A and B are shown apart, each in its own frame.
Chain A
Amino acid sequence: MAPEKIVLRFSAETVKQPIIYSLAKEYDLVANILKASINPHQEGTMVLELTGERYEEGIRFLKQQGITVHPLAQEVRRNEEKCTHCGNCTAHCPTRALSIERPSMEVKFNEDECILCLMCVKICPVHAMEVKI
């Protein structure tokens, strides 16, 4: 069975759970962590490859814990024409890939910092953040 690449998002409340241990022990899944980070507000994001017969059960378990799970996108892009530089996304970007430059107040998008959590795609009021799957 080919490994599935997925993105997990943790709130400050769920971030402390030892989920990799549970996935391995309870569901017999092999996890390969590609990227993981916790921001200053204790919100976590993890990108991992997950393999095993009981994959679906494992995903259900994660969701029950209040962890957001979605497939890894290839790329998030900003549509420069559409972006109005309102800045609303910046509060929700866990790695500050989207940030406000001061004093110009322009919104900068540093693609190298983007971990494809897709929060900006959901949040952007003018749908300027686009995803390629």
Chain B
Amino acid sequence: MRIPMRTMTAIVALMLLAAASAAAQSTIPGWSEKAPTHKQVVAFVAPATATVTAGKPTELELRFSIREGMHINAHTPSYPELIPTTLSADDDSEAELTETKYPDGTDLMLGSNPPEKLNVYTTEFLLYAHVRAKAGLHTLKLKLRYQACTMSACMPPRTIPVTIELIAK
């Protein structure tokens, strides 16, 4: 059976698209090209820029990645001593953070007899930040505090910067 040239071209183009898509997914967005240090468990992925309504709180969807094999406490951890994931504004931020909506975590069972049930974020999570800025261009400077663990060890709490260039109009 002879495949028409146009069909062949379409098949090859689709293969090319699939390969390009796989290539795009081969690295976690937000990580630097070099392997991050062990201290870099969470990466801010997007957005780098956003447009908001001047003078009114606007909701921004912030995407974060978590290193494979690790988890961080959700905003409402399972018990009070655990350090919650929190987003806050830097003192020198040019725009205001008025509210943050946190997602529910997922349950993670640690150990047995009896198991510790933990409320955590894994892989990727979204925060909804309500921000307010006067008309113009501003740098929104936020910070995310988290405390990460593997199934067998916990790292001390860390804070990473979350910087977004805002266009308020």
Indicate, yes or no, whether A interacts with B. Answer: no
Tell me the B residues contacting A by CB distance below 8 Å.
Answer: none
